[in-house]
Amino acid sequence: MQNKTCRKSSSCPQNFKDQRYLIRCLLVCTALFSCGCASSYSSQGVKYSGKNTKIYTPLPIRVHEDKLVQMLETISNLLGTGYHYGGESIRGFDCSGFVQYIYKDTFKAHLPRTSRQLSKIGAKISPEKLKRGDLVFFRLNSSQIDHVGIYLDRNLFAHASSSRGVTMGNLDNRYYKKRFVKAVRLLEITASSRQ
């Protein structure tokens, strides 16, 4: 039962006159935290929520340059693999599933699943400074980022196209040039491990 003198007393904080109000606030805060509405950030700035409990590989991902050759071999073997919305295996890929597969297979890295989520991690770089393994992002069908590919060399990138499956595109192509949004670097390349 509430003390009537507390309502009129100046010693009670104005916002917490009613104890039920305080309890309701605590319950709402607890509910928000347990439902995943509140979020936190990793040391790389990757946003994690209670709903997304996957642990992603810390950035930058440090790899030897010979791993880039392995990445090219894997991509080469996957060229022509069909498109499948939500696909992330050799049975079929969507664009972010393809990126996720390559990074997991080659670098043992765990990345966010969607192109939009991927675009929020890593170090943003200018198109002139692209290196093999960088991610390139596009707006193909919406006002937001909805497509991602892996930069190869000489403005070529590998991606999973909804019409052609795993294929290569060219950043100089008018279609991609017009829709290019940004590029990010997730890798830190070290000297070859083969001596």
CA dist., res. 125 & res. 103, Å (int): 19
Supply φ then ψ for residue 130, to 5 degrees. Answer: -60, 140
Treating both helix axes as pointing N-terminal to C-terminal, what angle do 95-107 and 66-78 enclose, rounded to 10 degrees? 140
Q: 147 catalytic, yes or no?
A: yes
Catalytic residue among 29, 37, 64, 95, which? 95
Give catalytic status of residue 159 as yes or no: yes
- The backbone torsions φ and ψ at residue 187, rounded to the nearest 5 degrees and listed phi first, read -105, 145
- The answer to whether the CB of 2 falls within 8 A of the CB of 19 is yes
- Environment class of 169 (CB within 10 Å of its CB; exposed 0-12, middle 13-18, buried 19+): buried
84 in active site: no
Annotated catalytic sites, by residue? 95, 147, 159
